[in-house]
Amino acid sequence: MGKAVFIRNAAQLITLKGSSTAPLVKEGMSELGIIKNGSVWVEDGIIQAVGKDEVLFEKFAVRIEQAEVVDATGKLVTPGLVDPHTHLVFAGSRETEFNMRLKGATYMEIMNAGGGIHATTKRTKLATHDELFQESFERLNQFLLHGVTTVEAKSGYGMEWETERKQLEVAKQLNELHPIDVVSTFMGAHAVPKEYKDNPDDFVKLLVKEIIPKVSELRLAEFNDVFCEKGVFTPEQARTILETGKVYGLTAKIHADEIEPFEGAELAAKVGAISADHLLKASEKGLRAMAEKGVVGVLLPGTAYFLMAESANGRHMVDLGVPVALSTDCNPGSSPTVSLPFMMNLACLKMGLTPAEVITAATINAAHAIGRASIIGSLEERKKGDVTIFNVENYMKLQYLYGVNHIDTVIKNGRVVVKGGRLVEKLSLS
């Protein structure tokens, strides 16, 4: 399995100890479990020990010679960042739409005129498996360079079986071949295909009667997501899709209340979704229901930023007791970024979250949003050896010095994959 990795003497080692059984809420989101002069011993891909440097040095003294030592003196060490909401697998880009939006067109207008999600769908249908794989692989490299070690990836640029399957198969292959762990979500209900414009219920029928059963049978996804939005899928349609997914073993997720209030948060609580994402226009009632049920609110500050909209009220959600997580929403239309650290900065400045809360939101709470909190999201014994090291000496400075990539080192499954801010080896198949 390779050498042990000994990360030594961090100025601040953020452990988030004791957060694996339930997502952190309220004041709990600020309890980072910081160890000064902290060290981590990783072996066989797994964290074997976490503690003060002097303690670990003594414990492993006889074995240090054989380990790869990573000096974290003066640096900030956190659990590998987790991105719980991306549309990773897509072809092409949409900078012309960006230009149109800057001139006044809205996201929904562009989509209703056949652009937006439909434009990426066209490109994704035309791309071969290998082309899609290659594009997405490069994006994963970029994620790694921004400290991210696990990424959730949604399908949804097909909205018919062949292309949805192609996207999910690419995600599966990426999970096998790229160091980053890729967690798959089926999102056939991403938009209503043009051919179903006048009878969207027929498309819902196709999803629940044919496509969801096939996704489940081939074990191509763990989660099932739907874009519940005015002009896309109604709460009733979304409910049918999510409840059917549950019957087929797919856990519900939902794009909720992104552009208009549409009772998406309420629906998430009703169907027992693991997360409700976006929530810019979520109602007070819906948020309270989410807090009560422990539904993770995945906030995507890059989307509001890029669509020039008002951000979700993250501060209020944390105060209400909603477990909050953060994500890039990486996609070619509303948030073409891989920088989860930039999302953390936006969450501070646009949502009123604190530097401590955004660390929790991008690690353990994000892990809870994808059902992985028992194996990632905190630095504790027996968890995966996923560790991110930043070139700053404390977590507040990470947010204060904004707009810069502070990544120094990334360790994934106990292997150093980024060193000095660069990929250690060329992670490419070509």
Task: Give the DSSP letter of residue 208.
Answer: I
**Residue whose tokens read 């996201």:** 107
Work out what residue 332 binds among ligand NIG, Fe ion, none; the CB cut-off runs from 5 to 8 Å by kind: ligand NIG
Of residues 20, 155, 313, 334, which one binds ligand NIG by CB under 6 A?
Answer: 334
**Amino acid in the structure at residue 392:** V
Cβ atoms of 107 and 117 within 8 Å: the answer is no
**286 labelled ligand-binding:** no
* Total residues at interface with Fe ion (CB under 5 A): 1
Of residues 141, 240, 303, 365, which one binds ligand NIG by CB under 6 A?
Answer: 303
**190 labelled ligand-binding:** yes
Of the candidates 323, 304, 314, the one whose C-alpha atom is nearest the C-alpha of residue 347 is 314
Residue 370 makes CB contacts below 8 A (sequence gap 6+) with 82, 84, 150, 152, 183, 222, 223, 274, 275
The two structure tokens encoding residue 237: 């349609």
Stretch that binds Fe ion, among 139-147, 165-173, 228-236, 321-329 (CB under 5 A): 321-329
153 binds ligand NIG (CB under 6 A): no
Q: Exposure string (b/e) for 73-99, b if CB count within 10 Å is 16 or more?
A: eebbbbbbbbbbbbbbbbbeebeebee
8 binds ligand NIG (CB under 6 A): no
Residue with the closest Cβ to Fe ion?
329
Q: How far is the CB of 96 from ligand NIG (least distance, A)?
A: 13
Phi first, then psi, for residue 361 (nearest 5°) are: -65, -25
**74 labelled ligand-binding:** no
Q: How far is the CB of 279 from ligand NIG (least distance, A)?
A: 12
Q: How far is the CB of 151 from ligand NIG (least distance, A)?
A: 14
Q: How far is the CB of 258 from Fe ion (least distance, A)?
A: 8
Of residues 235, 332, 336, 414, which one binds ligand NIG by CB under 6 A?
Answer: 332
Residue 300 exposed, middle or buried by CB count within 10 Å (0-12, 13-18, 19+): buried
229 binds Fe ion (CB under 5 A): no
Task: Give the DSSP letter of residue 413.
Answer: T
Q: How far is the CB of 154 from Fe ion (least distance, A)?
A: 7
Q: How far is the CB of 227 from Fe ion (least distance, A)?
A: 8
- For residue 252, the surrounding DSSP H or E stretch is strand 251-256
* Total residues at interface with ligand NIG (CB under 6 A): 13
Q: Does residue 344 sit in helix, strand or coil?
A: helix
Of residues 51, 158, 333, 377, which one binds ligand NIG by CB under 6 A?
Answer: 333
Contact mark string toward ligand NIG, 221..260, x via CB under 6 A = ------x---------------------------x--x--
Of the candidates 8, 14, 11, 13, the one whose C-alpha atom is nearest the C-alpha of residue 359 is 14
Please enumerate, by residue number, every residue annotated as part of a binding site for N-formimidoyl-L-glutamate: 157, 331, 333
- Interface residue list for ligand NIG (CB under 6 A): 87, 116-117, 120, 227, 255, 258, 303, 329, 331-334
